[in-house]
A and B are shown apart, each in its own frame.
Chain A
Amino acid sequence: MTTATVAHRRLGRYAYVGFCACAFVFLVAPILVIVPLSFNAEPYFTFTEGMLRLDADAWSLRWYRSIVEDEQWGRALINSLVIGIAATLLATTLGTVAALGLANPAMPGRRAAMGILISPMITPVIIVAVGVFFFYSNLGLAQTHVGLILAHAALGAPFVVITVTATLAGFDRTLMRAAASLGAGALTRFRRVQLPLIAPGVFSGGLFAFAASFDEVVVVLLMGGLDQRTIPRQMWAGIREQISPTILAVATLLIVFAVLVLFTVEWLRRRSSEAAV
C-alpha cells in the first residue's frame, strides 16, 4: 500500500467520523439546548451573558414555579393522565388478546388482519382527527373524555400488537403443552404460564401506547373542548400564542419523562429477551 493511499484512507476515515459527529450533534442538540435554557432567570430564549459566566443570579427555577402555580397546567396533567391511562388499558387489553391470536400459526387471514390492526399507526393523524371529529360528533362523543379515550386507544393499539407479537415470536409453545398435560385449563395456562413470560412485552407495548396518547395533539385539537385540554394541547397553545420560557420548563420535564420511559422499555426488552432464551 502506498503512502498516498494510506493518507487517502485516513482522510476518508476523518471525514466519516466528522460527518457522524455532526449527525449526532444534529440529533441531540435541540434537546440539550432546551434543558439549560429552562433555568433562565430572564424571559429570553437564548443564553444571557450571566448564564454563560455561570452567574448564580442568571439561573433560576422561576419557570418551574410558574408551572406549579398555574392551575391550567395541573388540569392539563390530570386530563393527560386520565385519558392516557384509560386509553392505554383499553389498547393493551385488546391488543394483547389480538396478538395472542395473530401469533397462532393457525390464524386465518393473518396478513389482512395485521394490516387492519396496524393501520391507525400509519394513517396521517390529521385524517384520523377529521374522521373522528365528524363521526364522534354524530354520536355526541365530541368534546368528551370518552371520545378522546376511544380515539387514543385506537391509535395506541397497533403499538401493543407489534410489541406483543414480537415477544410471542420468542415464546416457547411447548411450555403450554406441558402445562396442558399437567391438567391446566386454557385460562390457567394463559394466566400462570404465558402471561408472566410475555409480561415485559405487554408492559412495553402499553408504554408505547401511553406515550402515543400522552404526545397526541391533533385529535385533541379538533375534537377536544376546553375541558379536555391535555399537556400537548396546552403546549400547542403556548407555542402558537405567546411562547414563554414556561414552555421550556414543561419541555424539560417531558424530556426527563422520555428518558425514564426509554430506560424502562430497554430494561423490559432485556428481560423479555432473557426470558425467551
Chain B
Amino acid sequence: MPAIKEARSSRLRAAGLTLPLIAFIAVTFIAPLGNLLTRSVYDAEVADILPETLAALAKWDGSGTPSEATFATMASELLRARDERTLGRAATRINRIQSGLRSVIVKTPRRLGRDVGTEPPNGGTWQDALLAIDEDWGETATWLAIREAGQRFTARHFLNAVDLETRADGSSGAMPETRRIYVPLYLRTLWVSIGVTLLCLVIGYPIAHAIVHAGPRWSTTLLVLVLVPFWTSLLVRTTAWIVLLQNQGVVNDILVALGIVADDERIAMIYNMTGTFVAMTHVLLPFMVLPLYSVMRSIPARHMDAAASLGATPMQAFRRVYWPQTLPGVGAGALLVFILAIGYYITPALVGGQSGQLISNMIAYHMQTSLNWGLAAALAAILLLAVIGLYVLYDRVVGIDRMRLG
C-alpha cells in the first residue's frame, strides 16, 4: 500500500520539521517557566543550611521550647552557617515567617564568638547561652517559625499571593484588612486591563473604519499612521508621553498658555493612574486596530447599500448589519489587547507612579528589591495561569493560526 506509506512519511517529515523549534522553545522557554512554577512551591535553602536542627525539630511536639540537644545543634549549625556565609540567606527566609527574627539569628553566632567549642560557654547550658543573647530563643513561636521555614515544599507563597496567612497552629485564614496587598492589586490589574481594552475599542473602531472607508488616496496614509506607532519602540512611546504629560510638559504648557489652567495649578497627568491608562491605551491601540481593519476590509460595501435601500437609517444599518459582521475582529482585538495588558510592566513602571502600578511591577519588586523570589514566582504563576486561560479562549474564539501581524 504505497499511498499509506507515503502519507505516513509525509506526516513524519512535517513533524520532523517542526521538531527543532519545539525542542528549542521547550528548552529556552518552557523549561524556565516550569522552573518558575517549581520555585513557587519549593525552597530547600533553609532545609540545607540547618538540616540537623530541623530533624530535631521534627520530633518536637511544638509546645514550650525544644530540648537542650536541639539548642546545641542549633548553635553549632548557626556557627557553621556563619563560617560558610549562608547564614544571611537562612535568616532572611525565617524572617519572612516571623519578622524580627533576622537580627536574632544573625547576631547569635556573632555573640557566641569565634572560639566557642562544642561545650556551651561559661559552663552553663546552650539554652542559657542562647537566651542570654536574645530572649526570643525562649519563645515557642521562634522555633515554630524555624520549623516552618525549613519545609522544602510549601504552599506559603501561594497563600501569601492571595492574601492568606498561615497561623502558628497550622490553620490558614484571611490576612487583616490592612495587610491585604495582592488581591487588590490583581483586581486593579483586571480593571485597568478591562478599561484599556474598552478605550482601545472605542478609539480603535472608528480608526479602523476610517482606514477602510477613506478611499484609496487616504487609506494608505491612514494605515501608515497606525503602523508607525506599532513599529516604534515601546520605550520611545513611553518617553513621548512623559514629555507630553509631565508637569512642565507640552500639554500643560499649552493649557497654561491658553489660560485654561493657572501656572501654579498644572494638572498631574503622569506618574499616576492617568499616566498608566493613557500610555497603555496608546501602546496597545494598534493591536486593536489591525484585526478590526482586516475584518472590516472583507465586509462588502453593498451590504450597507442594501440595508439603506430597504429603508434602514445609517444607525440601524450599522447596528443590525455592519457591527455584527465586525464582531470577530472585535473579539480578536479585545482579547489580544487584554492579554497583553494584564502582563504589562514597562509602561506602568515608567509612568504609573505609586498609584498606577500593576501586578507585574509587584513581581519585579519582589525579584529585584525585596528578593522574595518564592513570592515573586507564586505571583507570576497566578498571572501565568490567567494568561494561559485567556490564550486557550483566544484559540477557541479566534484560532491561533489566524493570528496576523501588521
Contacts and interface: CB of A to CB of B under 8 A. Distances in A.
Given A45-B248, A150-B28, A266-B227, 20 more contacts: A19-B206, A23-B204, A23-B207, A30-B237, A31-B240, A95-B21, A115-B391, A118-B400, A122-B391, A122-B394, A123-B33, A123-B387, A127-B36, A127-B363, A130-B367, A131-B33, A162-B403, A239-B239, A248-B239, A261-B231
Interface of B: 7, 10-11, 13-22, 24-26, 28-33, 35-36, 39, 203-204, 206-207, 209-210, 222, 224-244, 246, 248-250, 253, 282, 285, 314, 339-340, 342-346, 350, 360, 363-364, 367-368, 373, 376-377, 380, 383-384, 387, 391, 394-395, 400-401, 403-406
A68 interface: no
15 contacts: A12-B314, A27-B226, A31-B228, A33-B240, A106-B11, A117-B21, A124-B344, A134-B39, A135-B35, A161-B21, A208-B406, A236-B350, A255-B228, A262-B230, A265-B231
Contacts of A83: none
Given A20-B206, A106-B11, A106-B14, A258 B232 contact: yes
A78 interface: no
Interface in A39-98: 44-47, 90, 94-95, 97-98
Interface string A237-266: 001100100011001001100110110011
Contact of B14 (A104, A136, A240, A258): A104
Given A94-B20, A232-B235, A111 B15 contact: no
Residue of A108, A123, A126, A251 most packed against chain B (CB within 10 A): A126
A243 B239 CA distance: 9
B367 A217 contact: no
A248 B240 CA distance: 8
A218 B346 contact: yes
Contacts of A157: 21, 24-25
A172 interface: no
Contact of B235 (A24, A122, A215): A215
Leading 10 A-B pairs by shortest Cβ distance = A124-B343, A101-B17, A30-B240, A131-B32, A135-B32, A98-B21, A104-B14, A101-B18, A107-B14, A131-B36
A224 interface: no
Contacts of A14: none
Interface SS of A by simple majority: helix
Nearest to B240: A30
A95 B18 CA distance: 8
Contacts of A116: 22, 25-26, 30
A133 interface: yes
Interface SS of B by simple majority: helix
Given A46-B250, A47-B253, A124-B342, A217 B240 contact: no
Contacts of B228: 28, 31, 255, 258-259, 262
A254 B233 contact: yes
A119 B14 contact: no
A150 to B, nearest CB: 5
A148 to B, nearest CB: 11
A94 B249 contact: no
A217 B235 contact: yes
A128 B32 contact: yes
Nearest to A20: B210
A106 B7 contact: yes
Contacts of B240: 30-31, 33-34, 251
A101 B207 contact: no
Contacts of A266: 227
Nearest to A113: B18
A262 B13 CA distance: 35
Nearest to A256: B232
B231 A258 contact: yes
Contacts of A154: 24-25, 28-29
Given A19-B206, A136-B32, A111 B18 contact: no
A98 B22 contact: yes
A201 to B, nearest CB: 11
A106 B12 CA distance: 9
Given A28-B225, A45-B246, A134 B373 contact: yes
A202 interface: no
A100 B18 CA distance: 8
B282 A34 contact: no
A207 to B, nearest CB: 9
Contacts of B203: 23, 26
A125 interface: yes
A24 B32 contact: no
A46 B249 contact: yes
Contacts of A239: 235, 238-239, 242, 350
Residue of A95, A107, A131 most packed against chain B (CB within 10 A): A131
Contacts of B400: 111, 114-115, 118
A9 interface: yes
A197 interface: no
Given A23-B203, A31-B237, A130 B401 contact: no
B235 A117 contact: no
B277 to A, nearest CB: 12
Contacts of B401: 110-111, 114, 165
Given A24-B225, A27-B285, A111-B395, A262 B231 contact: yes
